[in-house]
Chains A and B, each alone.
Chain A
Amino acid sequence: MQYLMMIEFKQVSKRYPGGWEALNQVDFSLNKGEMAFLTGCSGAGKSTLLKLIAMLERPSSGQIIVNGAHLSQIPQREVARFRLGIGVTFQAPQLLNDRTVFDNVAMPLNIQGVPAVSVAKRVHAALDMVGLLRQVKKLPRQLSGGEQQRVGIARAVVHKPALLLADEPTGNLDPSLSADVMQLFEHFNQAGVAVLIATHDLGLIAAMKHRIMMLKGGQLC
């Protein structure tokens, strides 16, 4: 059966040790090639939801299906391979400060074992898309916050994942930079990538014509 859905949550709950319930019976889905926003106050469960999709956490109950794969059936040793199929960016771009921009972006390709010639080509293409082609040889700390964020995004898309997850990608950026970054995500979405962005920046996303899901107290409303 060909799955039309990229992400499917069925009655998913996540309770942390100590009793805090981050997600409570959440049902939602994201179609292939769709772009959507996930919003809500801090502590509403946005990050938890993204972590569950990236298998950084496992749900307490319920079913999650990503790109046709039931996550509960993926054993721990296969998690790495699963993660390689998606792209993730965060509020802190999680770059390695002792490696150049090029090396940072090349990491997913090196893990996949892409030959060096193709690596160079694809890294340059990804950096070109985020407008950082001239910073290839710099170290991350030589770049501004917005540039670092874009390096993180380039790394998330360089291996052409079918799904891109972004957790507060504009959290540290000023409004005009934020708009640029959002445009970048739209650009990837137009190329066929399903994009799910968690953000509390309602003003920014209201103007964009994409589905907005609101999380409140661990439930979608």
Chain B
Amino acid sequence: MLRVWFLHHIQAAKNSLLYLLRQPFATAMTVIVIALGLSLPVLFWVFTNNLAQISTNWQQGGQISLYLDMQQSQAQETALLARVRAVEGVGQALLKTPKEGMLELQQQSGLDDLTIELPDNPLPAVIEVTPSLNMNTITQIEALYQRLKALGGVDEAKLDLQWVNRLHALLSFAATLTRALMFLLAATVVFIIGNTLRLAIQNRSEEIQVLKLIGATDAYIARPFLYTGLWYGIAGAVVALLLAKGFILSLGIVVSKLVIVYQMHYLILFFTATQVLQLLVLAAFLGWFGARLSVKKQLTSIEPYI
């Protein structure tokens, strides 16, 4: 039983492939339509990969502000500054006195007479810490933040990850957009293949009638059509990958100019082998699914007529 099942699958896979190759023009047209449908999500996928890569390189945007105890002398604060500078992972540390802080606040808020209203300067001295360049993950920065917060003389500490957080929010938005777009275009591929096979079945209804007449089950008749959908999906994905690769190669020239201007080193990432495999499997599934949608229903409507 299993041997027959296996044999039927091999035959269906082989025959459907040969059938497609026998009419190269029609097959190429369909494959290109599918590839165009797939290449857009493929490009989006590549871009989000690259954005994620860029963001991990740029994560040292986190700033740490240390608010010092109010009851400290100027000398104690300077000593604390020296201790902060000695902590590993600290790139730059600047001491801001309460007076400087008040000045900054006045400038930012536009309240010039703030000092007149307030009897004492309520602001503490602040040490602004910029992490060193090798601190490039959020966990590292957070560990540094905890260490600095625990120092004697530090009353309160604030970690400003706003910039990083914003970038991450933007990235996750892009990822969601990609997923939504992929879903839409996957549906497109399913329906393109479904419709292509609907026509194929119409063209071959005579053959289907004969097969039914001599005792072929619906499953047997459907199989080559399902494999046709599968081949369409895979071929479409391969062409889509080539299109995307070509696009990225052409983009690479522009990017390298940009990279030189910004004095950085960046290489555009393409898919890993795993991602290529994922795409092929997904496309094969979409093809099979699209074929199944239209084949099952249509086959039952064709009955042998003599």
Identify which of residues 212-231 in chain B touch chain A, using a CB-to-CB cut-off of 8 Å. 212-218, 220
Identify which of residues 251-306 in chain B touch chain A, using a CB-to-CB cut-off of 8 Å. 303-304, 306
When A111-B220, A113-B3, A167-B306 are in contact, do A80 and B215 touch as well, CB less than 8 Å?
A: yes
The residue in chain B whose Cβ has the minimal distance to the Cβ of A91 is B306
Interface centre among B7, B11, B209, B214 (most CB of A within 10 A): B214
A51 located at the interface, meaning its Cβ lies under 8 Å from any Cβ of chain B in the complex: yes
Residues of B with C-beta under 8 A to A92 = 306
CA gap between A112 and B3 in the complex, in Å:
11
When A51-B306, A167-B306 are in contact, do A113 and B8 touch as well, CB less than 8 Å?
A: yes
The residue in chain A whose Cβ has the minimal distance to the Cβ of B216 is A111
Q: Is the CB of B3 within 8 A of A80?
A: no
The residue in chain B whose Cβ has the minimal distance to the Cβ of A88 is B213
B4 located at the interface, meaning its Cβ lies under 8 Å from any Cβ of chain A in the complex: yes
CA gap between A113 and B206 in the complex, in Å:
22
The residue in chain A whose Cβ has the minimal distance to the Cβ of B305 is A56
Q: Is the CB of B214 within 8 A of A84?
A: yes
When A96-B207, A111-B220 are in contact, do A81 and B306 touch as well, CB less than 8 Å?
A: no
Interface centre among B8, B207, B210, B215 (most CB of A within 10 A): B215
The residue in chain B whose Cβ has the minimal distance to the Cβ of A90 is B306
Neighbour of B215 across the interface among A94, A95, A108, CB < 8 A: A108
Residues of A with C-beta under 8 A to B206 = 96
Neighbour of A155 across the interface among B8, B214, B303, CB < 8 A: B214
CA gap between A51 and B304 in the complex, in Å:
10
Identify which of residues 19-77 in chain A touch chain B, using a CB-to-CB cut-off of 8 Å. 47, 51, 54, 56, 77
CA gap between A3 and B187 in the complex, in Å:
55
A18 located at the interface, meaning its Cβ lies under 8 Å from any Cβ of chain B in the complex: no
A-B contact count (CB 8 A): 59
Which range contains the number of A residues in contact with the other chain?
A: 20 to 34
Residues of B with C-beta under 8 A to A107 = 210-211, 214, 216
When A56-B304, A167-B306 are in contact, do A80 and B8 touch as well, CB less than 8 Å?
A: no
A83 CB to nearest chain B CB (Å):
4
CA gap between A19 and B77 in the complex, in Å:
108
Q: Is the CB of A83 within 8 A of B4?
A: no
A126 CB to nearest chain B CB (Å):
13
A110 located at the interface, meaning its Cβ lies under 8 Å from any Cβ of chain B in the complex: yes
Q: Is the CB of A94 within 8 A of B210?
A: yes
CA gap between A120 and B304 in the complex, in Å:
27
Q: Is the CB of B213 within 8 A of A94?
A: yes
A17 located at the interface, meaning its Cβ lies under 8 Å from any Cβ of chain B in the complex: no
CA gap between A80 and B299 in the complex, in Å:
13
A115 located at the interface, meaning its Cβ lies under 8 Å from any Cβ of chain B in the complex: yes
Neighbour of B210 across the interface among A51, A56, A96, CB < 8 A: A96
B83 CB to nearest chain A CB (Å):
82
Pull 16 A–B residue pairs with CB atoms less than 8 Å apart, ordered by A: A56-B304, A56-B306, A80-B215, A80-B216, A81-B215, A83-B212, A88-B213, A92-B306, A94-B210, A94-B213, A94-B306, A107-B216, A111-B220, A113-B8, A115-B7, A167-B306
Give me the 5 closest cross-chain CB pairs, A-B, nearest first.
A113-B4, A84-B215, A83-B215, A80-B217, A111-B216
